[in-house]
Amino acid sequence: MGSSNTGGKDDSGANAGGSDSSNGGVPDPKPGLYTEGEKVLAYHGPRIYEAKVQKTEFRKKEWRYFVHYLGWNKNWDEWVGMDRLMKITDENIQKQQALEKKQGADKQNRTGRSNQTKPKSSTDAKVDKEDVKSNVAKGKKRKGDEKESVSAEKLVKIQIPSMLKKQLVDDWELVTQKDKLVKLPRSPNVDDLLKKYLEYRTRKDGMMTDSITEILNGLRCYFDKALPLMLLYKKERQQYHGAVTNNVPPSTVYGAEHLLRLFVKLPELLAYVKIEDETMTRLQQKLVDFLRYLQKNQNTFFLSAYDGPKVTEAATKSKEI
């Protein structure tokens, strides 16, 4: 799951309860496919989890469902569309298990670990949900380790805007399910995005502050080191070796799609850094502001379509010739 604290809040501020109060006399819509209290299967990132529908509402001509992921802290509760949910049937359970098996195989191929977790273990699921869009096994987390659960609550919360959460889900699906790849090199790349944000903040604040510059330099450093280790899917690794050569920083090759994946990992990475609470709070605010900037410019910074594998392979071969 994403490393954000949704806090059970929805951007719309609309009241739940089965129908939109702003219909203005329009007859209530047909009943939604799912009802309050119903247990369902819910997509989140690269996995399918058991969840329970807590609220329903009809908004913008579609049903929305507020779900609680079973075995998870309520901070992960969120509003989702019908496309993220499935009925609990034998067929869908098999789909959940097949996807879990596939993700487990990917993790073992990368890490050599054989003790892959199971989908219905709430403690183990926490490890996978921290994964969200990257298939990276957490060696430091162990099944039944209560101390890890406690320390997880102390991680800095980085609230990823809802539209960017959807971007993460779409990104995962395009790469892992549809065999698409981000065309490289990206423009604007990560380095460009950080510079654009610095210019934006400088214009808005009327000055360039050392703290912003330091944070952006830190993001660039984290990205360059984390990308090959935890921000790539298995299907992207061959492309990485062809695109990042001669010690070229990944931040000059990759763009917003992979930078967004970093924000899923940041709470875990920052847990190893000794930072005073007050400083961490300011850092959290700056990071959230940067995410809002990405969302505001989402159509400009993110690709609307990825390359198919044949296109990418051809591009790689032509580069090698």
pLDDT digit string (tens) for 155-207? 678 889 989 999 999 999 999 999 999 999 999 999 999 999 999 999 988 87
pLDDT digit string (tens) for 241-278? 999 998 899 999 999 999 999 999 988 888 777 777 78
What b/e sequence results for 8-42 when a residue is b if at least 16 CB atoms lie within 10 Å of its CB, and e otherwise?
eebeeebebeebbeeeeeeeeeeebebeeebebbb
Please indicate, yes or no, whether residues 126 and 166 belong to a single structural domain of this protein.
no
pLDDT digit string (tens) for 76-117? 888 888 889 999 998 888 888 888 877 666 555 544 433 444
Across the range 15-32, mean pLDDT stands at: 53
Helix, strand and coil in the chain, % to nearest 5? 50, 10, 35
Please indicate, yes or no, whether residues 132 and 172 belong to a single structural domain of this protein.
no
**In 3D, which of 148, 144, 153, 312 has the Cα closest to residue 242?**
312
- Domain range enclosing 42: 1-154
Please indicate, yes or no, whether residues 309 and 191 belong to a single structural domain of this protein.
yes
Give the domain CATH number at 130: 2.30.30.140
Q: Which comes out higher in pLDDT, residue 107 or 128? A: 107
Please indicate, yes or no, whether residues 201 and 231 belong to a single structural domain of this protein.
yes
Please indicate, yes or no, whether residues 118 and 172 belong to a single structural domain of this protein.
no
CA–CA gap between residue 85 and residue 118 (Å, rounded): 20
Last residue of a domain, one of 154, 176, 195: 154
Average predicted confidence (pLDDT) for the chain: 76
Please indicate, yes or no, whether residues 99 and 138 belong to a single structural domain of this protein.
yes
Last residue of a domain, one of 109, 137, 154: 154
Give the domain CATH number at 239: 1.10.274.30
Residue-level pLDDT at 220: 94
Residue-level pLDDT at 281: 84
Please indicate, yes or no, whether residues 108 and 235 belong to a single structural domain of this protein.
no
Please indicate, yes or no, whether residues 140 and 219 belong to a single structural domain of this protein.
no
Q: Which amino acid is at 211?
A: S
Please indicate, yes or no, whether residues 168 and 126 belong to a single structural domain of this protein.
no
pLDDT digit string (tens) for 208-235? 677 888 899 999 999 999 999 999 999 9
Please indicate, yes or no, whether residues 127 and 18 belong to a single structural domain of this protein.
yes
Please indicate, yes or no, whether residues 185 and 235 belong to a single structural domain of this protein.
yes
Number of independent structural domains in the chain: 2
Across the range 138-165, mean pLDDT stands at: 59
Residue-level pLDDT at 27: 56
Please indicate, yes or no, whether residues 173 and 257 belong to a single structural domain of this protein.
yes
Answer whether 317's CB lies under 8 Å from 242's CB.
Answer: no
Residue-level pLDDT at 159: 87
Last residue of a domain, one of 130, 154, 178: 154
Q: What is the pTM of this model?
A: 0.53
Q: Calculate helix-pair angle for 210-230, 190-205, nearest 10 degrees.
A: 160
